[in-house]
Structure 1
Amino acid sequence: MPPAPLLPFERPIRQLEEKLAALEADPDPSTHLRDAVRALRREIREKTREVFGGLDAAQTVKVARHAERPQTRDYIELVFDEFVELHGDRAFGDDRAILTGFAKLDGQRVLLVGQQKGRTLKERTECYYGCAHPEGYRKALEKMRLAEKFGLPIVCLIDTPGAYPGVGAEERGQSYAIALNLREMARLKTPIVCCVIGEGGSGGALGIGIGDHVAVLQFAYYSVISPEGCAGILYRAEGGATPANVDRAANALKFTSEHLLRFGIIEEIVEEPPGGAHRDHRAAAGALKEALGRAVRELADLPADELLNRRYERFRRIGQFEELAAAGEAVPTEAEAVAAE
């Protein structure tokens, strides 16, 4: 299997790994060589922790979009048992960007809803790179209502840059479909656990993101807009979505897992293996399985009324702020706000 595509900040790690591979290729290693191998492995672990422990928001986006990062179908194989896929929205068609079906999580039956980007060019084209159409959100809602009927918890895996913005999607009611999901998910009388496993972009993510427990993988992001979209709007007079402006927007949006937890947007950060989920699918799946299973168990015994009240209050708390100018204080500039972080 060819090595995963290399991110710019991974080069020091790759150089050490290549050196290690050369040492391990020796057919008759001496004691000295074995000691060198052990030392090099420690150095690789330390360098990986150093590099990935200091990523900024722009670099985190690159990890979240990595071509080898596990997707919903990978987690179906590694986390869930007995998955039975359910197709169609009973109105227009079957959107491949959203997968739905019954599954088992640690012996607990659940309804799984997940966004899929695709691996090959053919699959990505069929999945529109994870950008769902209205029929995808209708499919998700139909199956979630089925879960409510049978008293099954719902697990949603979010991984999309946003809902599909094409003419056909708009003609078929893209905004209405997402808005309807927001309202109806808030009313479902069954536990809903959501986790952003890669990208969590705008309404496309929120369309399956109204839950009682929302988690984010360590190197995923969850945002009202993509960095490119933000840069194109805010920095139009300065060149729009240039690479420098995109990185600037990413760092200004405060959408990494640490920011989201600090602002009360999410309940949990799911730790990824050293170097990110793309380096070790099984370790990432193990952490995700443990987090999802625990959240489902904690919510399972709550009465429906309490569940709905907690869900309502959860989202009402999001977006609290203070108007500093009203208190006679100067509002910090963007540079001052970033420096304060």
Structure 2
Amino acid sequence: MLLDFEKPIFELESKLADMKQLAQESNVDVSEAVKALEEKIIKLKEDTYRNLTRWQRVQLSRHPDRPYTLDYIQTIADKFIELHGDRQVADDKAIVGGFGEIDGQSFMLIGHQKGRNTKQRQYRNFGMANPEGYRKALRLMRLAEKFGKPIITLIDTPGAFPGLEAEERGQGEAIAHNLREMFMLKVPVICIIIGEGASGGALGIGIGDRVLMLENSWYSVISPENCSTILWRTWNFKEQAAEALKLTATDMLENKLVDGIVPEPLGGAHADPIAMAQILKKAILEHTAELNKLSPQERINERIDKFSSMGVVLE
């Protein structure tokens, strides 16, 4: 998939490929021209991705080739055992979780999971969890607390599932319950928005000692399209809505709603998933080491203080 703002880059890369092919076929030395074009492409990429609009970052966060939770787990975890079910209703496929080992250290890894094709998207419900998904996540968090293992949550959802059956089974209560319980977890909790972080669907596994965002992710109470629909009765103003919502990682950090930004490879996480996974792994290990220096009560107190101070204005 090629986004509109990526087309000039694609055209230069196509030209570079043609130039290299021509050099091979005609045995002509075009090394200087190739080098100049490569430098031009790098500069264009740097300028393009440095100056993305908020809507363009939303588009990147939804790129179909962008790594999902299981992609990261399979890359950074040496071992992973997925655990299923909330022990009440069902096993929600939109949220995955289990124990994983990273560099010899055990973690509880939990996250939203989307699908690559139509069949997978239906199976994963487009990453929109039902109440049993949030109850499964909480069950796994309590299991991690029981065994003293740090918790990592990877957030990537367009929102909690809004269906009637989800509301009948207590969608709001399940999310609210998670919010309360996550504040009191005695083990380190690191939450990372890896793509879309929409509304309570994201917040349901988003209360942590450290809340991080990937460079091209977004975090907001509502998506730009839905915001546009409410304000203008049409999706056509989604770009303006994205600007007004201030939903990017930079915006969130400036407003002290997250604790850090995880940089992405040039071109976005989908441009080099392996490199992105290694960057994410490094961030997880560094923040875990910092949090392990604190006592459980110190972590709980700091967690409560951090979220309690959000939105407070002193004049």
Q: Report the TM range for the smaller structure's normalisation.
A: over 0.9
> Which residue of structure 1 aligns with residue 313 of structure 2?
321
**TM-score normalised by the chain length of structure 1:** 0.90
Match of 2:14 in 1: 18
Paired residues for 1:25-36 under 5 Å: 25-26=21-22, 27=24, 32-36=29-33
Shift of 1:199: 0.2
Q: Deviations over 1:229-249 (max 9, x none)?
A: 2112222xxxx2332x11111
Residue of structure 2 in register with 1:122 after alignment: 119
Which letter does structure 2 place at the counterpart of 1:261? Answer: L
Range moving further from structure 2, 94-103 or 278-287:
278-287
- Aligned CA distance change for structure 1 residues 9 and 313 (closer, same or farther; 3 Å): same
Q: Which residue of 2 aligns with 1:339?
A: none
Match of 1:310 in 2: 302
- Pairwise CA distance, 1:28: 5.2
Q: Give the structure 2 partner of residue 81 of structure 1.
A: 78
Listed one character per residue, the Cα deviations across residues 258-280 of structure 1 (whole Å, up to 9, x for unaligned) are 11111101111111011111111
Does 2:58 align with 1:66? no
**Matches of 1:70 and 1:127 in 2, distance apart?**
15
- CA separation in 2, counterparts of 1:159 and 1:111? 17
Structure 2 distance, partners of 1:76, 1:232, is: 36
In the TM superposition, residue 90 of structure 1 has moved relative to its aligned partner by: 0.3
Cα distance, 1:301 vs structure 2: 2.6
* Unmatched runs of 5 consecutive residues or more in structure 1: 324-341
| Percent identity between the two aligned chains | 50
Specify the code of the residue in structure 1 equivalent to 2:261.
Answer: I
Aligned residue identity for 1:296: T
Residues 152 and 29 of structure 1, relative CA distance in 2, 3 Å threshold = farther
Q: Give 1:253's aligned residue.
A: 245
In the alignment, which residue of structure 2 is the partner of 1:267? 259
**Structure 1 residues 29 and 299: CA distance shift in structure 2, 3 A:** farther
Tell me if structure 1 keeps the 8 A contact 2:226–2:235.
no
Matched residues in 2 for 1:216 and 1:31: separation? 47
Q: Which amino acid aligns with 1:270?
A: V
Corresponding residue SS for 1:198: strand
Do the aligned partners of 2:16 and 2:37 also contact (CA within 8 Å) in 1? yes
Residue in structure 2 matched with residue 210 of structure 1 by the alignment: 207
Structure 1 residue 144 displacement after superposition: 0.3
> What is the DSSP-based 3-state SS (H/G/I as helix, E as strand, rest coil) of the residue aligned with 2:109?
strand
Q: Distance in 1 between matches of 2:268 and 2:4?
A: 14
Report the alpha carbon displacement of residue 322 of structure 1 after superposing the two structures with TM.
Answer: 6.0
Q: 1:298 aligns with which of 285, 290, 312?
A: 290
2:107 match: 110
Cross-structure match for 2:141: 144
Aligned to 1:135: 132
- What amino acid sits opposite 2:117 in the alignment? T
Distance in 2 separating the partners of 1:301 and 1:120: 43
Determine helix, strand or coil for the equivalent of 2:7: helix
My pick for the range that moved more, 208-217 or 22-31, is 22-31
Supply the RMSD in Å over aligned alpha carbons: 1.3
- The residue identity in structure 2 corresponding to 1:234 is L
* Aligned CA distance change for structure 1 residues 31 and 271 (closer, same or farther; 3 Å): farther
SS of 1:73's equivalent?
Answer: helix
Partner of 2:163: 166
After TM superposition, the structure 1 stretch with the greater mean CA deviation from structure 2, 91-100 or 278-287, is 278-287
* TM-score computed with the length of structure 2 as normaliser: 0.97
Among candidates 234, 239, 243, match of residue 241 of structure 1: 234
SS in 2 for 1:185: helix
Show the 5 A alignment for 1:171-186.
171-186=168-183
Q: Give the Cα separation in 1 of the matches to 2:121 and 2:175.
A: 22
Does structure 1 residue 219 correspond to structure 2 residue 216?
yes
**What CA distance in whole angstroms lies between the structure 1 residues aligned with 2:150 and 2:270?**
28
Residue in 1 that maps onto 2:279: 287
Aligned to 2:4: 8
CA distance in structure 1 between the aligned counterparts of 2:167 and 2:30, rounded to whole angstroms: 63
Distance 1:277 1:321 in 2: 35
Aligned to 1:157: 154
**Would you say 1:194 and 2:194 are equivalent positions?**
no
* SS across alignment from 1:25: helix
Aligned partner letter, 1:94: D
Amino acid at match of 2:141: M
